[in-house]
Amino acid sequence: MDFEAIKKSSALHPKPAGLTLQYGTAGFRTKAERLDHVMFRMGFLAVLRSRATASTIGVMVTASHNPEEDNGVKLIDPHGEMLHPSWEEYATQLANAEEQELQKVMTEICQKEEVNLHKDALVFIGRDTRPSSKKLSQSVIDGISVLGGQYHDYGLVTTPQLHYVVFCQNTQGQYGKATLEGYYQKLSKAFVELIKQANSPSSGDSQRHLKIDCANGIGALKLMEMQHYFPKEVQIHLYNDGTKEKLNHLCGADYVKVHQTSPGGLDMKPNERCCSLDGDADRIVYYYKDTADHFHLIDGDKIATLICIFLKELLVKVEQALKMAVVQTAYANGSSTRYLEETMKVPVHCVKTGVKHLHHKAQEFDVGVYFEANGHGTVLFSKAAEIKIRHLAKEEKDDERREAAKMLENMMDLINQTVGDAISDMLVIEAILALKGLTVQQWDAIYTDLPNRLLKVQVADRQVIGTTDAERRVVAPPGLQEKIDALVQKYKSSRAFVRPSGTEDIVRIYAEADKQENADALAHEVSLAVYHLAGGVGAPPQP
């Protein structure tokens, strides 16, 4: 490595004094003006990772559902998955190194990972629509270039599109063409094939109308590009398309989920089907208003359930011994877990919060469905399942089995298996609703969510909380779990858990019960227990 050139170039991207950042599940995220040096150094890291894996690596410049002033960056590994945890550690070290330590940190990474510095390196770059993103992605390019890496800048893309093209590139095109055109063609072809089977004129024309809140983000641009690939029966109407308002401001999937209300900029009429994407289009939630003007949210749990019902019917028809399971976190509504296990007879596994834990667990099954309640999720098919399904779709003599296998094949092609993808998930949902002739109300009525409440308590040190059993129980501080157990006993159909935030000194509390007032009371009582037993700061929580 030419450390003279690195030093010279690095001086143009200086690190603000005293700033330390942590690479978490969502990569780095903070105010945009603090990120120039981080972007430059992530260009380095991407080149080293590319050389270490002899593969193409992705760098996405986005802060997802954060406010427009923020920005962030995440790296994408060879199979389109999130960066390996050991390299997350290197990312943190590189971002926080003072100028004079840079050489040492980079040399250590190269030694530990046995990086061959003479190998070619290729990095794919993408960015969202934030005003700061173009300049910051140029800093990434500066970092790549100074280490002699090659790059391809895809410009404005959704986060899942960059994951997709990275995987396509590293499978030599087996997963698809590593272009946006290839993405649009693969998804729309599968969608059109599925929709062909939907013969429900009875459900009326209005069924195919969908209003989409694009969070004033990248999703709007990409849906506009994709629109002419859709069959004419599918009428999508885009709102919050970024032409007037700020990114994520009073709109987007996160806003709708947290505030349980419709976004600004979208006029909802009773029983209209609506959905919201988030700022980088990797999450989606659906919702509608009933005739009494009540808002109904359809979150990730209900999306997973709909997909499960559909896939299970097809798997039964093809009569293959393929194992399907659903992966959830402790935040999944208890009603969804009960419905899946008891009514659907589908195994449900609970893992720690964070997409990487869900994705990892879902890989253990022939068909692994995972969604977080916030609307981030996808379906993974094992290699063996894929081979079996594609073979049956081609060779099976029995008409019903062959048709079911063909539908499964199209679902496999429509789902972006690298990561949660709002556009792909939306098309999957629209296809299933059309094929089953379901209205949004009928979908919502599959089961009734238990009322729940999320709270947070500020503490002096979040590390005093230790958890076990996929974060559903605490092992420290002493006495807290016993107190929670006693409180839960007071209410019907109730449960509660607490977990430390991954990024700040707060403890998050989740409670659910048979009635909203009981969920609220339980959450409040648990928050008081946390405040008294885990070192709460400031005034005690008020009901």
Is 347 annotated in a binding site? The answer is: no
Is 96 labelled a binding residue? no
| 373 annotated ligand binder | yes
* DSSP secondary structure string for all residues of 474-539: EEESTTHHHHHHHHHHTSTT-EEEEEE-SSSSEEEEEEE-SSHHHHHHHHHHHHHHHHHHTTB-SS
70 is in an annotated binding site: no
139 is catalytic: no
Closest CA to 441 of 290, 300, 305: 290
503 is in an annotated binding site: yes
The two beta strands, 122-127 and 150-156, are parallel
The answer to whether 501 is annotated as binding is yes
DSSP line for 4-72: HHHHHHHHTSPPPTT-----BTTBEEEEGGG-HHHHHHHHHHHHHHHHHHTSEEEEEE--TTS-TTEEE
Q: Is 14 annotated to bind ligand?
A: no
Do 319 and 462 touch, CB atoms closer than 8 A?
A: no
> CA 380 → CA 139, 265, 389, 407, 416, distances in Å?
34, 35, 13, 16, 9
Catalytic residue among 64, 262, 276, 424: 64
d(CA 197, CA 70): 44
Is residue 364 a known part of a binding site?
no
Please report, for the chain, how many H helices and E strands are present, in that order.
Answer: 18, 19
Are residues 95 and 38 in contact, defined by beta-carbon separation less than 8 angstroms? Answer: yes
First to last CA, the chain: 59
User: Is 508 one of the annotated binding-site residues?
Assistant: yes
- Is 336 labelled as part of a ligand binding site? no
273 is in an annotated binding site: no
- Is 283 a known ligand-binding residue? no
Distance CA 115, CA 442 (A): 55
Residue 1: what residue type?
M
449 annotated as a binding-site residue:
no
Binding residues: 64, 278, 280, 282, 372-374, 499-503, 508
Binding residues for substrate: 372-374, 499-503, 508
Binding residues for Mg(2+): 64, 278, 280, 282
Q: Annotated catalytic sites, by residue?
A: 64
